[in-house]
């Protein structure tokens, strides 16, 4: 495998402003963002291109106007759909104004109010979809909010981002450099992010420019991109996984486009000639299932097996012909897809290997909001199905108190570790001990340095015999079944024992396409579950299960909220008479 020696091509930026300034200088007229504008009446579609130079200059104008409005050192929230203006607002605040507070666009009113109160946010940028809820919150007066700034519409209740940009440009052209020369402390809190979960459960994570730039440098040293790559943003930008990825793409001069919605992913891939995406397991596993369903429908399984063997033989002679052999599959994904990064949760190894076999480099990364986020990742050089790659070159990791199998809690050191939890020193001291951050994940590191995550410490199920069961391991096997959208393994107590149960969310379309009844699907799952159980030791076997068409309750990165989901499962079991 060719080594591009990426560490010789990049350096660690001091702060985000330096990164954006560097890109504006090196990639001046390259397109940073494409914004689609669709006229609702005429249906006419136009595309607005923003260059790297435009991005940096406009950030300066908006930041200057915010300082004139008295926003210096204030907490400023941003909420809305992924967009250029969302990122512009975020960048302007964090690069010389104050502390940016990205908020989950799916939060309910009481949760939003709680976040605004806890963060002490006095200003908020918001989009049209959040007009009613944000203006109602401001009117109620239960939060510190004083100033509203509309990003993509006009409102009598708010300032307008375009007006602020115009005013900022006037100030800069008149010689005002208050924002452009503002001092940035790379170690101070400039980003305040709420972790996934309900507001009561979430913690507010304090991150610095150094945290994010450390992660950016590690990614640039390991993952291979080119300025000609096109990234489509699918993941929510308020989450550090998606946002950190965006910083990587911007530091390498890539074009970035925005997805119109989950059901338009493949259409948008073709529309924008997308070559790179960041994703989560649920999306990729569904994508892979659809590819294989099409293969089976065409009776092409034998053809695919032959092509895979041919590719394996060719590689022994130094030839990589996968993208040519599987052109029809790649064309289903727009024709240009070459690199997929998976995060937030583990991707099933079968899916990861399958996509790589088709010539689409698919890597698994691992990290947390508290680590800005990347701790380890597979790369173009380091691939091992089931692992989450090797530890980033500027991160130190080890296994704390490993058991006989080498499994213990993964702990790390590095400049990517958060400052701490906001207004919660006790929680901070629990996870950062002697400079080591305790991830809360059980893992092991093999002889080649690959990290394997066994499961969340808080999710582990301890059986009566003392054995540990990681529900994620079993769920991955169940989720591979073509008619399963997702599953969740849980426990119910029995006399002197703990019994493993599973909720299995089936795909309703599968029933229609295969002309099956729910009773027939139950019979099929009985047999499939029997095979899955046979592949595992007795203590990991799922003894009870039920099929459901109700999706699990999820975070915006599509991870199941297990505590909330158990409440829903209890209701389902009662309705089914299984309590």
Residues 192, 180: Cα–Cα separation, whole Å: 22
3-class secondary structure per residue, 434-497: CCEEEEEEEEEECCCCEEEEEEECCCCEECCCCCEECHHHHHHHHHCCCCEEEEEEEEEEECCE
The model's confidence at residue 6, banded by pLDDT at 50, 70 and 90, is very high
Beta bridge partners of 230: 255
525: phi then psi, degrees, rounded to nearest 5? -65, -35
Tell me how far apart the alpha carbons of residues 357 and 322 are, in angstroms, rounded to a whole number: 7
Compute φ and ψ for 151, nearest 5 degrees: -95, -30
Percent of the chain with pLDDT over 90: 80
pLDDT at 7: 92
Cα-based angle 351, 352, 358 (whole degrees, multiple of 5):
90
- Torsion angles phi and psi, residue 204, rounded to 5: -95, 115
Q: Which residues contact 343 (CB under 8 A, 6 or more apart)?
A: 241, 278, 279, 280, 364, 365, 366, 367, 373
Give helix 209-222 / helix 240-251 axis angle, nearest 10°. 60
d(CA 254, CA 248) in angstroms, rounded, equals 9
Residues 139-159 have a mean pLDDT of: 97
Q: Look at residues 237, 241, 204 and name the one whose alpha carbon lies nearest to residue 116.
A: 204
SS3 191: strand
Look at residues 257, 252, 258 and name the one whose alpha carbon lies nearest to residue 228: 252
Bridge partners (DSSP) listed for residue 38: 45
460 pLDDT higher than 90: no
Average pLDDT over residues 255-281: 95
Of 500, 550, 507, residue with least CA distance to 525: 507
Nearest-angstrom CA–CA distance, 300 and 292: 9
- Using the structure block, give the residue that is written with the tokens 């992660």: 215
Q: What is the pLDDT of residues 341-367, one digit of tens each?
A: 998 888 888 899 999 999 999 999 999
CB burial of 89-101 (b: ≥16 within 10 Å; e: otherwise) equals bbbbbbbbbbbbb
pLDDT digits (tens, 9 = 90+) for 173-203: 999 999 999 999 999 999 999 986 433 467 9
Whether residue 158 is predicted with pLDDT greater than 90 in this model: the reply is: yes
CA distances from 322 to 31, 223, 358 (A): 30, 20, 6
181 Cβ contact list (under 8 Å, min separation 6): none
- Single out the residue of 448, 470, 439 nearest to residue 387, CA to CA: 448
Other C-beta atoms closer than 10 Å to the C-beta of 375 total 30
**pLDDT of 473 strictly over 90:** no
Which residues lie closer than 8 Å to 59 by C-beta, 6 or more apart? 20, 88, 91, 92, 95
Which of 145-149, 188-192, 223-227, 459-463 is predicted least confidently? 459-463
Instruction: Name residues whose C-beta falls within 8 Å of residue 328's C-beta, 6 or more positions apart in sequence.
Output: none
Average pLDDT estimate for 327-334: 93
Q: What angle do CA 217, 220, 226 make, to 5 degrees?
A: 150
Strand order in the sheet with 191-194: 159-160, 147-150, 121-126, 75-79, 99-102, 191-194, 204-207, 420-421
Q: What's the whole-number average pLDDT of the chain?
A: 93
Provide the phi-psi class of 182: left if phi over 0, else alpha when psi is between -120 and 50, else beta. beta
Output the six-digit token pair for 110: 């009481």
Q: Taking residues 549-575, what's their average pLDDT?
A: 90
Pairing relation of β-strands 339-342 and 276-279? parallel
pLDDT in tens, 370-416: 999 999 999 999 999 889 999 999 999 999 999 888 999 999 999 99
């Amino acid at each position: 495998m060719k080594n591009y020696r990426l560490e010789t091509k990049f350096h660690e930026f001091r702060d985000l402003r330096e990164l954006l300034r560097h890109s504006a200088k090196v990639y001046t007229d390259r397109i940073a963002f494409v914004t689609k504008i669709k006229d609702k009446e005429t249906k006419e579609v136009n595309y607005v291109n923003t260059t790297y130079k435009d991005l940096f200059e406009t950030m300066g104008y908006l930041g200057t106007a915010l300082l004139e409005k008295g926003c210096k050192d204030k907490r400023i929230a941003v909420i809305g759909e992924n967009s250029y203006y969302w990122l512009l607002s975020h960048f302007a605040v964090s690069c010389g104004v104050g502390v940016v507070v990205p908020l989950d666009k799916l939060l309910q009113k009481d949760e939003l109010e709680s976040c605004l109160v806890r963060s002490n946010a006095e200003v908020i940028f918001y989009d049209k979809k959040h007009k009613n809820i944000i203006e109602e919150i401001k009117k109620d007066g239960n939060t510190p909010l004083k100033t509203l700034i509309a990003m993509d519409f006009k409102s009598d209740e708010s300032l307008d981002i375009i007006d602020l940009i115009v005013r900022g440009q006037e100030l800069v052209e008149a010689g005002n450099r208050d924002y452009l020369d503002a001092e940035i402390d790379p170690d101070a809190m400039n980003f305040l992010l709420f972790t996934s979960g309900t507001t009561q459960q979430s913690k507010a994570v304090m991150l610095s420019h150094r945290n994010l730039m450390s992660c950016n440098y590690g990614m640039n040293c390991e993952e291979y991109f080119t300025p000609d790559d096109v990234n489509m943003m699918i993941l929510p930008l308020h989450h550090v996984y998606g946002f950190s990825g965006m910083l990587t793409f911007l530091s390498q001069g890539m074009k970035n486009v925005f997805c119109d919605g989950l059901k338009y992913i493949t259409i948008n891939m073709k529309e924008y000639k997308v070559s790179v995406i960041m994703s989560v397991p649920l999306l990729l596993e569904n994508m892979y299932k659809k590819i294989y369903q099409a293969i089976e429908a065409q009776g092409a399984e034998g053809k695919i097996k032959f092509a895979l063997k041919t590719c394996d033989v060719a590689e022994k002679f130094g030839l990589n012909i996968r993208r040519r052999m599987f052109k029809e599959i790649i064309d289903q994904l727009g024709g240009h897809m070459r690199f997929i990064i998976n995060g937030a949760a583990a991707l099933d190894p079968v899916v990861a290997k399958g996509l790589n076999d088709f010539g689409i480099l698919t890597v698994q990364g691992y990290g947390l909001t508290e680590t800005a986020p990347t701790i380890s990742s597979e790369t173009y050089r380091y691939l091992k199905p089931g692992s989450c790659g090797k530890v980033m070159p500027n991160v130190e990791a080890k296994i704390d108190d490993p058991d006989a199998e080498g499994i213990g809690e993964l702990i790390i050191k590095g400049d990517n570790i958060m400052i701490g939890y906001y207004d919660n020193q006790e929680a901070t001291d629990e996870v950062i001990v002697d400079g080591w951050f305790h991830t809360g994940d059980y893992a092991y590191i093999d002889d080649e340095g690959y990290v394997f995550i066994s499961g969340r410490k808080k999710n582990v199920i301890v059986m009566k015999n003392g054995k540990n069961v990681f529900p994620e391991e079993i769920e991955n096997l169940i989720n591979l079944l073509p008619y399963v959208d997702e599953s969740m393994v849980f426990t119910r107590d029995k006399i002197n024992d703990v019994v493993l149960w599973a909720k299995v969310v089936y795909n309703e379309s599968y029933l229609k396409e295969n002309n099956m009844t729910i009773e027939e699907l139950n019979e099929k799952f009985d047999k499939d579950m029997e095979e899955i159980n046979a592949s595992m030791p007795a203590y990991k076997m799922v003894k009870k299960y039920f099929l459901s068409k109700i999706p699990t309750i999820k975070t915006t990165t599509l991870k199941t909220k297990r505590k909330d989901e158990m409440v829903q499962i209890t209701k389902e079991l009662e309705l089914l008479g299984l309590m």
